[in-house]
Amino acid sequence: MSLERKYVEVKTPRLLIRPLQPYDAPSIFTMRSDPEVVKYTSHSPDKDVETTMKAMQEWQEAGRYNFVVELLTQDDKESGIKTDHPVAKRKFVGVIGIVRSPEIGYCFSREFWRKGYATEAMQAFLGLAWDHLSQSGGFGYVTAQVDTENIGSNRLLEKVGFKKQKTTVADYESPVLGSVRDSFLWQLDKPLSS
């Protein structure tokens, strides 16, 4: 699997946001196999790591701009991030990226919910998103589609400045919930200074 792109990373006080790599598949599998994590998505929980690797390959082929979110170690914080630092020492938090321009998507492991990591990751990722979008289409905004009942995700988007644009009725089917779902379309305009 080839996931080659220019290496770019962002560090926040607690997180490292770095490009998705093939060796992330086991961590992504663990997250995507949790029915609670994927219940507001259009896919079933992953059954095995091969399913996850296939999804990652499809993301790559579709040109998605994906990043892994990891918890910084004390060593990272004290000595600065080294790209050759052993990844195994960092805890996998989730993934974030551009699903299709200009739509942002994200998914976080349940153990990291309600601790402010998603807000921190989203705020940091937006800088990468603006740079990427200015090079690949010139969008002056980003969007996100979120299930109307996904309270945490809707709060996250509102907290970082997104504005609700519309409700789409019967937008997608959730295999976990076994129903056709409605979603909100959120939008954030690019700041004038970016």
DSSP 91-127: EEEEEEEEEETTEEEEEE-GGGTTTTHHHHHHHHHHH
Measured CA to CA, the distance from residue 20 to residue 40 in angstroms comes to: 22
Answer whether residue 194 shows pLDDT above 90: no
| Mean pLDDT calculated for residue range 52-64 | 90
The answer to whether 121 and 15 are in contact (CB under 8 A) is yes
CATH number of 10-139: 3.40.630.30
| Mean pLDDT calculated for residue range 131-151 | 87
pTM of the predicted structure, to 2 decimals: 0.87
The answer to whether 167 and 182 are in contact (CB under 8 A) is yes
Question: What is the predicted pLDDT for the residue at 64?
Answer: 84
- 129 vs 136, residue with greater confidence: 129
For the stretch 114-129, pLDDT in tens is: 999 999 999 999 988 9
